[in-house]
Structure 1
Amino acid sequence: MIGSPHVARLLFEASAPVSAPVERVRALIDDGWVLDAFLGSEEARSYVDVDHQPGIIGFQGHWWYRGEISASPSTGGTTVTYRVYNIARRSAWAVPLANRLFIGYRRTVREGVSGLARRIESHLTP
């Protein structure tokens, strides 16, 4: 995990295929397009801290949340992966309670990465 000075706990992970070469998808991660497509405009995400390495973008907000989006090569194109971590330094046990036990969150993560994959394909298709 990039940019994190302490141990984090992986809560959710979902992946989706993109029919494009990994280099093109990683370029969208690196230039910030993916972050804008996933989180919205810069004004809407003013509470989020962002860091990245080539091909991976990390974003943190609130007291517990860290998301990471990455791209890896796969047969026929690229796999985009979205991971959600609990980064709470204290009271990590309270994270599920504060988020209503994450009911429906797994589906939200899957739908989020699937939607992102479709937006990437649309953006890269002339």
Structure 2
Amino acid sequence: MRLLFEASAPVRATLPQVQRLIDDEWVLTTMLGETGRAYVDVDHRDGTVGFQGHWWYRGEISAAESDAETLVTYRVYNIARRAAWAVPLANRLFIGYARGVREAAAGIAQAIENHLAGENPATD
């Protein structure tokens, strides 16, 4: 398993609040939607959700404390056992992929904040 891309984004929430949303699969459903889940295998470790699809892809979302906030991190791995060298070619040399990973991390962080604000309007 080789790390290809990693991006983090801050969330104005406590680590337990964010980990709860990761652990109960709210984050995964928000990121993939209901139909996207049909195409991936999902596994959990406390505070981390991993999802694999295609012949090469593994994504992981986790959270960690950072100063007065929580950082949500999205990692993309190459898990190809054979022809791992072909992964960049199959993905157009990953042009624009790093930006997409950064945007996905920022989007899920914002979605978490919005969700938590809706649960508890006093949280801002």
Same fold flag (TM > 0.5): yes
Percent of residue pairs bearing the same amino acid type: 69
2:104 equivalent to 1:112: yes
Greater share of residues in helix: 2
Q: CA deviation at 1:76?
A: 1.7
The correspondence of residues 36-115 of structure 1 with structure 2, limited to 5 A, is 36-41=29-34, 43-115=35-107
**Residues 82-107 of structure 1: per-residue CA shift (max 9 Å, x gap):** 00000000000000000000000000
Q: Provide the residue aligned with 1:4 in structure 2.
A: none
RMSD between superposed Cα atoms in Å: 0.6
Is 2:49–2:60's contact at 8 Å kept on the other side of the alignment?
A: yes
Q: Provide the residue aligned with 2:24 in structure 1.
A: 31
Cα distance in structure 2, aligned partners of 1:124 and 1:75: 19
The residue type paired with residue 97 of structure 2 is Y
Q: CA deviation at 1:75?
A: 1.2
Q: Provide the residue aligned with 2:6 in structure 1.
A: 13
The residue type paired with residue 64 of structure 1 is W
> How high is the TM-score relative to the length of structure 1?
0.92
| Structure 2 spans left out of the alignment, 5+ residues | none
The residue type paired with residue 113 of structure 2 is E
Residue-pair matches, total: 118
Is 2:29–2:37's contact at 8 Å kept on the other side of the alignment?
A: no
Cα distance in structure 2, aligned partners of 1:123 and 1:23: 14
Cα distance in structure 2, aligned partners of 1:15 and 1:99: 22
Q: CA deviation at 1:45?
A: 2.2
Q: CA deviation at 1:30?
A: 0.4
